[in-house]
Amino acid sequence: MKKLLIFLIILSPTLFPRGGDCSLLSHPSQKVMAASIGNILPFLVHLEIERRNAYSNILATRFYPFPFSPSYLSRKLKELPPVSSGTGILIHPDGYILTNAFLVEGAKKIRCFLSDGTFYPAAPVGEDFSMDIAILKIQKDRHFLYFSQTDHPKISKGEWVFVISRYAAKNPAISKGIIVEVPQEVGALYQRFLLTNIPIGLTNSGGPLLNMKGDIIGLTDAFLSKIASIQGVGVSIPWDKATSISRQIIDKGWVIHGWLGMRVQDILFPKGKGYVQKVMAVDVAHGGPAYEAGVKPGDIILEYQKIPVLNSFQLKHLVMTSSVGETVTLKISRKGTLLSLHAILAPKGLPTFPTVERKVLGIVVTSPPPTSHKKGKGLRISWVDPNGPMGQAGFEAEDIIDEINGTSIRSREDLKKFLYEVKPGDSLLFHAIDHRTGRGGYVQIRLP
């Protein structure tokens, strides 16, 4: 009998079997699965993305959740085919779709196929690259069925879950598995995500991770699942974080992240016969959260919210993914003395990614309020770099732009499409509405 038991253990699957083969656990009933799938299908969107040829510098200042160099990330994105597919979730009656940022980065054309058999073009509204989340908007004025979930169910290791993706002209694809790891506040960066034993590929990336009650508990992510240190598991962004970020993108066009107000860098210190890397505060903004907490230049940041700080990239990501107004604890070393300081995170007022309008024109734009002016719709300038092309031309925050070189500008996507085609030295003729007088006029600028 003992020999037989040993033999069975050797032949048994691993502790975390591949998705679709979890024979060690009790399978959920087909009836439960069918009900859960039926509840989510009307809100699933199949995405077809056509990309541009080049990805030059698209990740130069963006922070993905893992400490890899921009060149590594750019290389990984270049491996994506020129035309690929993915999944999205309708989360708003006006046609806003939640999906992964990497899926739609560099997209020239996006089409979305809905459960009712219709398909429409879609355009990016905004992205948050710290959590790999993007919001698209269907380019059609109609009411859409959308998924709404206000509560966030408890998640347990070992519970059954499944992912589902929609193909344009085929039945939905479903993969079943179990939760391998739940999000943790303390530990490595990847432990802030949901980990499953379900393989995540391009087609089901950006789709829902569901429990057996049909509740969405995560947003699947193929890009994060390919990270070398955690290969073999499927990574999903916790649903509460995804929905919080999506609300900000829909409302503002970007996400306001937490800000400590200090500049840090990696420093090597001698230890034994080698060196150990530490993170040092090299500059502290006067009046900022770190300054008010008592951080001084030269302090070594050892922990952030009890999480060991390994490098400056990790610390920046931890701060960015914390909530504005949250009180965070910093454990520091100052000339050999250990201190515990408390800082209240302030908002970082500008997008943390280099939007094309910010890079080319030196501005940040949002949709204007409905009553802002009477001469049609356009884009409101919410921030101007005084040294940028538009700042030098006299544009100010709250001005409205609605036309460039005879092309109507009605949305941020219109502006992005136009700016992707311009070159250094081009002359641009803007029709703008002055926020002080309400009068419209033309202003010409030349790109540097």
The full set of domain ranges for the chain reads: 18-255, 257-348, 356-446
CATH topology for 356-446 is Pdz3 Domain (2.30.42)
Task: Confirm whether 18-255 and 257-348 share one CATH topology.
Answer: no
Tens-place pLDDT, residues 65-89? 444 444 555 555 566 667 888 999 9
Tens-place pLDDT, residues 377-431? 788 887 787 778 998 888 988 889 999 999 999 887 788 888 888 888 899 999 9
Instruction: Select the CATH number that applies to the domain covering 18-255 from these four: 3.10.580.10, 2.40.10.10, 2.40.10.120, 1.10.10.10.
Output: 2.40.10.120
- 13 has pLDDT over 50: no
Using 50, 70 and 90 to split pLDDT, how confident is the model at 290?
very high
Using 50, 70 and 90 to split pLDDT, how confident is the model at 269?
confident
Give me 263's structure tokens. 């500049």
Residue 169 pLDDT: 57
* Phi, psi of 320, rounded to the nearest 5 degrees: -60, -35
In the chain, the amino acid numbered 116 is D
Using 50, 70 and 90 to split pLDDT, how confident is the model at 205?
very high
Per the CB < 8 A criterion, the answer to whether 197 and 183 are in contact is: no
Does an H or E element contain 368, and which?
none
Superfamily grouping for domain 257-348: PDZ domain (2.30.42.10)
- Per the listing, tokens 């970007």 go with 254
If we measure between CA atoms, which residue out of 341, 444, 338 comes closest to residue 401? 444
Q: Which residues of 194-227 are buried (b: 16+ CB within 10 A; e: fewer)?
A: bbbbbbbbbbbbbbbbbbbebbbbbbbbbbbbeb
pTM for the structure as a whole: 0.65
Which SS3 state, helix, strand or coil, does residue 187 take?
coil
Does an H or E element contain 250, and which?
helix 239-252
**Whole-number percent of the chain with pLDDT over 70:** 79
